[in-house]
């Protein structure tokens, strides 16, 4: 029998309150310890909200993060942080890594500890056994493509980012009870490099479990890349950008996250439509189906994102009711 779920991928919008905590920290009005205490408290509230809505797989909302690269790249030796670069076709900008030498994750980088704190919140809520907490990370293809590096190919960068930063970090996260969620928009953005992306997917597959998230373009042109990930991975595809699920499932992807809740438009989706999409995916051969946001929720105003998360919760409850799972 197919398994259904509702999940949040990536970030949740930084509320006014969270923004003000960041501002105080950046201005030096609060110390790092106080910043962490305040952000930790806001993250806890958010996790409690996700649990209440009925989501069974989610991130901690990435309230400590500016974008999918920062602050991770600040905890990496061999990297400097560049000026602002547009994040694909969005009115959203990130600071790109400039590669000075082989990137290596710094000892004591707090990413794993942040995720552990989220796990502790779930344990406190006695929700640990029914909820999966994910930690978003940029995937090697996306990170390599976003990097500014003279004389180093994207192919080399994929290997370097993976071995020096992403692989050790992902393994640590799994050890701490978090599931790594690799964001790979680049893979669908530029399918012409799919041989390179296939290599990156093989590297990711090596760690055995996780989420592999694509967005901004349809995934079917890179179905064979997605097929390399293996059964341990849930693959998220952006259904708002296009369909083509048959090809993805045909390539061997049986655990799917359907990005059908638009993270880039305020228009609300209908619960009934989302439920039908999930059932339809099962009819096409998927064995585990999550309904999710198609991309980071940072692109939405927080009140709308909140409504969309609640909608996801309703979708899960309805799927559970109608499928008997």
Partner 1 sequence: MVWRKVELPVLPTTVIGSYPRPKWLREFIAGYREGRYKEEQMREAFDDAVIAVLNDHREAGVDIPTDGEMRRDEMVEYFAERIEGFKFYGPVRVWGNNYFRKPAVVSRLRYRGPMVVDEYLFTKKVTYSDIVKVTITGPYTIADWSFNEYYPSKEELAFEIARIINKEIKALEEAGAIYVQVDEPALTTHPEEIGWAVEAVNEAVKGVNIKVGLHVCYSDYNILKPYYDRLNVSQFALEFANRGFRDLDVLKGLNKELGFGVVDVHSRRVETPEEVAAAIRKVMEYVPPECLFINPDCGLKLLPRKIAKQKLKAMVEGTRIIRQELRKRGLERIELRKDLTCP
Q: How far is the CB of 44 from partner 1 (least distance, A)?
A: 21
Give the total residue count for the chain. 325
Residues lying near partner 1 in the complex (CB under 8 A) are found at: 13-14, 16, 19, 22-23, 26, 66-67, 83-86, 88-94, 264-267, 298-304
Write down the H helix ranges in the chain: 16-27, 32-53, 111-124, 140-146, 154-161, 167-175, 185-189, 194-205, 223-226, 245-250, 271-283, 302-323
Q: Are 31 and 317 in contact (CB under 8 A)?
A: no
Give me the DSSP letters along 125-149: TT-TTT-EEEEEEE-HHHHHHH-B-
Q: Are 103 and 97 in contact (CB under 8 A)?
A: yes
203 vs 300, beta carbon nearer partner 1: 300
Q: How far is the CB of 306 from partner 1 (least distance, A)?
A: 10
Q: At 25, phi and psi to the nearest 5?
A: -65, -45
> Which residue, 99, 120, 14, is CA-closest to 65?
14
Q: How far is the CB of 95 from partner 1 (least distance, A)?
A: 8
84 vs 325, beta carbon nearer partner 1: 84
Q: How far is the CB of 263 from partner 1 (least distance, A)?
A: 11
94 vs 233, beta carbon nearer partner 1: 94
Q: How far is the CB of 150 from partner 1 (least distance, A)?
A: 11
Distance CA 233, CA 75 (A): 26
68 vs 319, beta carbon nearer partner 1: 68
86 vs 321, beta carbon nearer partner 1: 86
265 vs 323, beta carbon nearer partner 1: 265
Q: How far is the CB of 303 from partner 1 (least distance, A)?
A: 5
214 vs 241, beta carbon nearer partner 1: 241
Residue partners of 263: CB distance under 8 A and separation at least 6: 10, 215, 293, 294, 295, 296, 297, 298, 299, 300, 305, 308
Q: How far is the CB of 58 from partner 1 (least distance, A)?
A: 19
């Amino acid at each position: 029998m197919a398994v259904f779920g509702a999940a949040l991928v990536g970030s949740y919008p930084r509320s006014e309150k969270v923004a003000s905590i960041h501002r105080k920290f950046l201005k030096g009005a609060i110390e790092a310890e106080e910043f962490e205490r305040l952000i930790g408290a806001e993250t806890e509230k958010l996790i409690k909200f996700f649990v209440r809505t009925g989501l069974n797989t989610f991130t901690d909302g990435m309230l400590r993060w500016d974008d999918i690269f920062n602050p991770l790249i600040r905890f990496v030796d061999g990297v400097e942080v560049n000026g602002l670069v547009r994040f694909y076709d969005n009115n959203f900008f990130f600071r790109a890594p400039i590669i000075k030498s082989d990137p290596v994750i710094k000892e004591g980088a707090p990413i794993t500890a942040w995720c552990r704190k989220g796990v502790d919140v779930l344990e406190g809520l006695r929700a640990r056994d029914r909820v999966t907490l994910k930690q978003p990370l940029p995937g090697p293809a996306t990170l390599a493509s976003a990097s500014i590096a003279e004389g180093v190919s994207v192919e080399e960068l994929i290997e370097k980012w993976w071995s020096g930063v992403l692989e050790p970090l992902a393994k640590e996260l799994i050890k701490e009870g978090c599931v790594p969620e690799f964001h790979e928009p680049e893979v669908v953005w530029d399918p012409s490099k799919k041989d390179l992306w296939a290599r990156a997917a093989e590297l990711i597959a090596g760690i055995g479990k996780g989420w592999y998230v694509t967005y901004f373009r349809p995934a079917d042109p890179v179905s064979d890349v997605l097929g390399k990930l293996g059964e341990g991975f849930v693959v998220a595809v952006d259904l708002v950008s296009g369909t083509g699920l048959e090809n993805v499932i045909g390539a061997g992807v049986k655990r799917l996250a359907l990005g059908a809740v638009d993270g880039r438009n305020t228009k609300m989706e209908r619960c009934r439509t989302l439920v039908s999409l999930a059932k339809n995916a099962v009819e096409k051969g998927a064995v585990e189906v999550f309904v999710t946001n198609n991309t980071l929720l940072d692109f939405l105003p927080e009140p709308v994102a909140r409504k969309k998360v609640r909608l996801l919760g309703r979708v899960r409850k309805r799927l559970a009711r109608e499928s008997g799972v």
